[in-house]
Structure 1
Amino acid sequence: MYHVTKQIHGAFFIDGPGGTGKTFLYNALYAEIRLINKIILPTATSGITAANIPSGRTAHSRIKIPLDPLESLACNIPKQGSLAALLRETTLIIWDEASMAKKENIESLDVLLRDICNPNLLFGGKIVVFGGDFRQVLPVVPKRTQREAVAASLDTEDSFVQLPAEIVQPYDVATPQDMHLTSVAFPEMDMLPFSADIFTTRAILTPINDDVDIINTILIDKFPGEAVAYKSYDSMIDDDYNIYPTEFLNKLCPGGMSPHELILKPNSPVILLCNILPSSRLCNGTRLICKKIFPNLIECVITIGHYKGEHVLIPRINLRPSESSGYPFQFQRKQFPLKLSFAMTIIKAQGQTLNKIVVYLPRSCFSYGQLYVALSRARQATNVSVVTDINVDQASFCHVKNVVSYDILHMAGII
């Protein structure tokens, strides 16, 4: 605030572990800047994180960062346009979860602000507040002179963490796993009727998409109400020889895309898979509750952020897999950009804070920071439950694998 009142440029990074109040700090900054009638632009790397701040938008949406930074760092903002004028008048820019962004995205912001404001000052002389938690994402360090040193720094160590007995939920191996998960995460589903509000502040988290899909399929079958199945329209792009039949495309479901057959019921929880209208919080990662189901529209209620409780209409749109999917061809799927969210991947939950978390570990966490992210999504440790492949007698000695890159953390100055 000293920099704001004295009009001094500067860049800050707010480093804090999950749940320690970074979002509270951003909201306090937002309120203080608006009280003195100055402009503040809150952004975040992910849509679900942006929803936690008033007027929050994803950084890509707000400043038009190019999707492929290897082609260009220039943001698609004309110097004489209204957005450029807004950025010139802006006093402070917030970028939450900046630790998740590519470094080229940060460079794009610097290039943009230097271009439209002051070319000789960092970020064009604006005050920028970055925030994040490198404990949740693997930091990338500069290359060293010897290739062997770089390879050594990338080695990971698998350490086993003993979980407190009070958060471990043992189960009888004779009990079906879905019944156990339901009783721990959503016990109300066994006591009809129940309110859909229970799905707005709770979630089941698990490492990979395959387990997420299995849990969601089991729970939507158990969910009361009449099911409606929406099938997608799949087609190849630039396939003149019809090598890949439609039936083959129907079986594909890369990350970030809706399944070919989307089964929904009224009041079932869903998550949005792409940015439809960021200004109204319809971003990738926004959680919703289905209210009314029509042939070509789905009426939902937003359950998170400052637009919580607002009714929105979700249409079918054309979805394409990302280049990272690794397919040797391109196809598109016309489908509702939704997926059931009784369960989510741990990565998808990054940036959220919920009242109750059930961490389902049928297999070990396989990437850096995954276990830490999962266990830090609830406000209190007493609201975290871990369901893993143990029985009652082993609950006091439950160990789970945690992937840690100690050398890189040391080089980054974190430990």
Structure 2
Amino acid sequence: MQLPKKGGLFFLYGPGGTGKTFLYNTVLAKLRSERLIVLAVASSGIASLLLPGGQTAHSRFVIPLELMENSTCGIKQKTHLAALIQEARLIIWDEAPMTQRFAFEALDKTLRDILGAKDDANRLKLFGGMPILLGGDFRQIFPVVTKGKRQEVVHACINRSDLWQHCELHALSRIMRVNEYTADGHVDARKHEFNKWVLNVGEGKVPALCKDGEDEPTWIKIPDEFIIKSEKTPIEAIVDTIFPDFINKQEDDDYLRERAILTTRNDDADEINKHMFKKLQGAKMTFKSSDEICKGSTDNINQHYSYPVEFLNKLNFPGVPPHKLKLKLGQPIMLL
């Protein structure tokens, strides 16, 4: 893979699910396999976790929290971070649209200074001659401007910066998260229409409605064909739709891998898991945790009396298994 010697600014644009993160990871794996240094950053902490060796952009480049038009990054010459940047061959920045344009302008000025220390010609190049690959979707999160109006938020976007006129745009359009094609290569009309409707929501083409007592239209109507209707309970209805004939196919690994039920609430996930757990065949096994207060977390010598084991066993934290973990042989689990 050849990187441009004169640098350049590139933007990978595509809706969620089109494979942007997969492409980043492919580029990272290719270049790092050639023993080249690539810095992978993202605008949010969650997005940075999806990149191997990823960090938030503010952390990696010491971008100030209060950004102004003349801001620069807090990276000094002849430091380890400056030396790392001088050796890097590419910077990948995910979820770029949610960062204010002043952050990119600050990075541009800082890279010109740091890379210009090795070659004065770099001071005149965009980002000091460092190739920059940005990515994201402008349909999603815009930069946060405190008490800012619509025009102020739009003005803070990267595509309102003078840097944008030097940007080379690349787009991904096919949504891989909901595959529109059947096994024989034909287009599934229902999935195609669903993907099209999701894009229309993101682009604001779906008319919004107001509820009683509200002044601003913030609600949209979901088409009936995308809603699961059943006389059963909601959990039973969605389980029967996503996992048809589960009783007979629960030992089929391919059947389980190609299906998932997503929910935003932990208590809903617990209810769905309990419902599915009852359908699983086999003997139930219960594994209990060993809970205790870390001795280095407090100076109180009577901590064991303040926090009895029975109290610790009742605590249930998001992302942490409960005190009693019930499993059955062959049950699929996710390790985070």
TM-score category (smaller protein): 0.5 to 0.7
User: 1:145-180: per-residue Cα shift (whole Å, max 9, x none)?
Assistant: x9xx99xxxx995633222222211010xx244332
Q: Which residue identity is paired with 2:227? A: V
The match for 2:267 is 210
2:139 to 135, 153, 166: 135
**Structure having the larger proportion of residues in strand:** 1
2:88 to 82, 90, 102: 90
**SS of residue matched to 1:162:** coil
1:245 to 274, 286, 308: 308
The match for 2:20 is 22
Please give the root-mean-square deviation of Cα atoms over the aligned residues, in Å.
Answer: 5.0
Equivalent residues, number:
251
Q: What is the deviation of 1:211?
A: 0.8
Q: Trace 1:225-240 onto structure 2 (pairs within 5 A).
A: 225-236=282-293, 237-238=297-298, 240=300
The match for 1:159 is 218
The match for 1:341 is none
Q: Which residue identity is paired with 1:5? A: P
The match for 1:374 is none
The match for 1:59 is 54
From the superposition, tell whether residues 233 and 158 of structure 1 become closer, same or farther in structure 2 (CA, over 3 Å).
farther
The separation in 2 between residues aligned to 1:156 and 1:14, in whole angstroms, is: 37
Q: What is the deviation of 1:141?
A: 1.6
Q: Which residue identity is paired with 1:127? A: P
Larger Rg: 2
**SS of residue matched to 1:5:** coil
The match for 1:327 is none
Query: Percent same amino acid at aligned positions?
Result: 40
**SS of residue matched to 1:179:** helix
Equivalent pair of 2:228/2:238 in contact (CA under 8 Å)? no
From the superposition, tell whether residues 111 and 197 of structure 1 become closer, same or farther in structure 2 (CA, over 3 Å).
farther
Q: Which residue identity is paired with 2:52? A: R
User: 1:46-92: per-residue Cα shift (whole Å, max 9, x none)?
Assistant: 678866xxxx41523999859xx98xx989xx955xx9876543322
User: 1:390-414: per-residue Cα shift (whole Å, max 9, x none)?
Assistant: xxxxxxxxxxxxxxxxxxxxxxxxx
Equivalent pair of 1:93/1:127 in contact (CA under 8 Å)? yes
Give the structure, 1 or 2, with the largest relative contact order (CA under 8 Å, sep 6 or more): 1
Structure 1, gaps ≥5 residues long: 274-415
Q: Which residue identity is paired with 1:168? A: I
Equivalent pair of 2:249/2:255 in contact (CA under 8 Å)? no
Equivalent pair of 1:196/1:268 in contact (CA under 8 Å)? no
The match for 1:6 is 5
The separation in 2 between residues aligned to 1:267 and 1:215, in whole angstroms, is: 17
Equivalent pair of 1:250/1:260 in contact (CA under 8 Å)? yes
**Structure having the larger proportion of residues in helix:** 2
Q: Trace 1:14-413 onto structure 2 (pairs within 5 A).
A: 14-23=12-21, 26=24, 40-42=38-40, 56-60=51-55, 79=79, 87-98=85-96, 117=115, 125-137=129-141, 139-141=143-145, 157=216, 159-172=218-231, 175-192=232-249, 194-236=251-293, 237-238=297-298, 240=300, 241-242=302-303, 243-273=306-336
Structure 2, gaps ≥5 residues long: 66-72, 118-122, 154-213
The match for 2:159 is none
**SS of residue matched to 1:224:** coil
Equivalent pair of 2:40/2:55 in contact (CA under 8 Å)? no
Q: What is the deviation of 1:238?
A: 1.0
Equivalent pair of 1:234/1:250 in contact (CA under 8 Å)? yes
Equivalent pair of 2:57/2:93 in contact (CA under 8 Å)? no
From the superposition, tell whether residues 267 and 108 of structure 1 become closer, same or farther in structure 2 (CA, over 3 Å).
farther
Q: Which residue identity is paired with 2:144? A: V
Equivalent pair of 2:45/2:56 in contact (CA under 8 Å)? no
User: 1:327-368: per-residue Cα shift (whole Å, max 9, x none)?
Assistant: xxxxxxxxxxxxxxxxxxxxxxxxxxxxxxxxxxxxxxxxxx
In the superposition, the TM-score normalised over structure 1's length comes to 0.45
Q: Which residue identity is paired with 2:12? A: I
Decide which moves more: 119-128 or 91-100: 119-128
Q: What is the deviation of 1:191?
A: 1.6
